[in-house]
Copies of this chain bind each other. A is one copy, B any other.
């Protein structure tokens, strides 16, 4: 539609574009300040911050945007500084999580470039440095992630009194971090415990991991955080959760399906990479629960094998389809999506906020990459 005809959708898009600009400017200014701190230590320490900057300046900004509309829906001022700063804090937290996640998952790429540990191991080999370049890469990435995590919090503290100890927003921020780390631990535990461990409970465990590792912190916590910063009522925060939690679950389930069945040309990841990494998704859990002993055996022997070839990938895919696991996952996605949009329709927010959230939700659950 032409942008000069007023509509909630058009207003939301324009405002969101302005917020993105403010977010980017605040992030850049903050990173420049940090650069000065590192320069005082030594010019040679700058690559640590460069790695953080390169990563943090990319991404879809889903968390920051949800946080912003949570703020706006609760009556926060247009482009208010607290919502800009909490958005930067959330994006930095996400970057920190990705840096460490990529070490844990041994992922070589991220946001279209090398992952941070690969960036440092490549610098090592380019310069023909000594000792183990892979270990140097993950060591430097551990430190880059730590720096990024600290900066996330430093920025959150800069939100001010609304984010101080004991405030609703601070409680959400604290809980988010602890839950994500606990969820990630459950995720790596699930991988090593193996696919044959209590397959009948695999779906329950996988859905719990998905909830804490991904869903809550991708959608629910950002939205409620923004709301809490603007002084949202408990009732409104409940509405936010009723919308955002199923949305986050649908989002991550879609991600899991794309990781196995997605088009590599669109996802940017080689087909079957999630299977080679051994990701224990809800899709895999359904395969274990519905496919019986033969499926459990096939998953146990194929999942997590770095040398899994195209035939192996194809066999696991067929198994996921034939066992009904793919269909069960799609049903789950559909149910969550329905619940999310249903809550959004009834949520007591203004039309511009609702339009913005609808657009973000739509992009989250219908994506192909």
A interface residues (Cβ-Cβ under 8 A, vs B):
34, 37-38, 41-42, 44-45, 47-48, 96, 100, 103-104, 106, 124, 129-131, 133, 135-136, 138-140, 142-147, 149-151, 153-154, 157-161, 164-166, 170, 174-175, 177-179, 181-186, 188-189, 191-194, 208, 212, 278, 304
Contact = CB atoms under 8 A, between A and B. Distances in A.
Contact of A136 (B41, B161, B183, B192): B192
29 contacts: A37-B178, A37-B179, A37-B182, A38-B178, A41-B208, A41-B212, A42-B212, A44-B189, A45-B183, A48-B181, A100-B143, A103-B139, A103-B142, A104-B139, A104-B142, A104-B143, A124-B192, A129-B194, A130-B191, A131-B278, A140-B185, A143-B185, A146-B146, A147-B178, A150-B178, A153-B153, A154-B174, A158-B165, A164-B164
B130 A44 contact: no
Contact of A193 (B104, B129, B153, B183): B129
A267 B266 CA distance: 57
A46 B157 CA distance: 28
Contacts of A304: 130-131
Contacts of A186: 41-42, 44-45
Contacts of A188: 136, 139-140, 143
A252 to B, nearest CB: 16
Nearest to A157: B165
A158 to B, nearest CB: 5
Given A100-B146, A104-B139, A130-B304, 6 more contacts: A37-B182, A45-B183, A136-B191, A140-B189, A145-B146, A160-B165
Contacts of A48: 181-182, 185
A174 B155 CA distance: 10
B178 A34 contact: yes
A124 B193 CA distance: 9
A164 B175 contact: no
A133 to B, nearest CB: 8
Contacts of A161: 164
Contacts of A154: 174, 177
A135 B135 CA distance: 12
A153 B157 CA distance: 10
B182 A41 contact: yes
A181 B146 contact: yes
A194 to B, nearest CB: 4
A182 B144 CA distance: 9
A80 to B, nearest CB: 16
A245 to B, nearest CB: 14
A42 B48 CA distance: 34
B192 A130 contact: yes
A358 to B, nearest CB: 30
Contacts of A179: 37, 41
Which of A34, A133, A185 has the most B CB atoms < 10 Å from its CB? A185
A167 to B, nearest CB: 10
A278 B44 CA distance: 20
What 8 pairs between A and B have smallest CB-CB spacing? A45-B182, A129-B192, A130-B194, A150-B177, A104-B139, A41-B182, A147-B181, A158-B165
Which of A124, A131, A165, A188 has the most B CB atoms < 10 Å from its CB? A165
Contact of A149 (B124, B150, B164, B182): B150
A300 to B, nearest CB: 8
